[in-house]
Amino acid sequence: MAKNQASLLLQKQLKDLCKNPVDGFSAGITISHFVYLKVIACDVEGGFFNAIMQFPNDYPVSPPTVTFTSEMWHPNVYSDGKVCISILHPAGDDPNGYELASERWSPIHTVESIVLSIISMLSGPNDESPANVEAAKEWRDNRAEFRKKVSRCVRRSQEML
């Protein structure tokens, strides 16, 4: 898909998202050389967590990356804030055999489907294939300590408002 066509598709998807917003989510946009940075704030347990959604030049052939800029304690978020969910992994077979090709990126995904997947991930972690092994272990074995760390992140996010 040509860069202009990809840009038009992304603009349409963002416009559609603004017309039909997703609960618990708000957005702002910065555009730089077809690197669209999508700032999202997800309302999770009363906290507001910011992230950047960065789209490649060949979107929708390739998936965007999503990185939280707010402190996060979650099994599916790396320590650098990068989100690890199947639909953001490149299309095709998983070289490690953990995911089916049907669970990975497909050009049919939209900004909205990505946002909904992230919101779902935040409320229901996948601890079988964690990005943050310590958070996944706490999620499984010590839910009280896990919630304590999440609450700390929530408080810090509220202080940033």
CATH of the domain at 48: 3.10.110.10
Number of folded domains in the chain? 1
Report pLDDT digits (tens) over 105-148.
Answer: 999 999 889 988 988 898 889 998 899 999 999 999 999 999 99
Which domain range does residue 55 map to? 3-159
Report pLDDT digits (tens) over 18-42.
Answer: 788 777 666 655 555 444 444 455 5
Note if 84 is an active site residue: yes
- Its pTM stands at 0.84
Long-range contacts at 146-154 (CB < 8 A, ≥ 24 apart): 146/73, 149/73, 150/45, 150/73, 150/74, 151/45, 152/73, 153/47, 153/49, 153/70, 153/71, 153/72, 153/73, 154/44, 154/45, 154/46, 154/47
Catalytic residue among 18, 42, 84, 153: 84
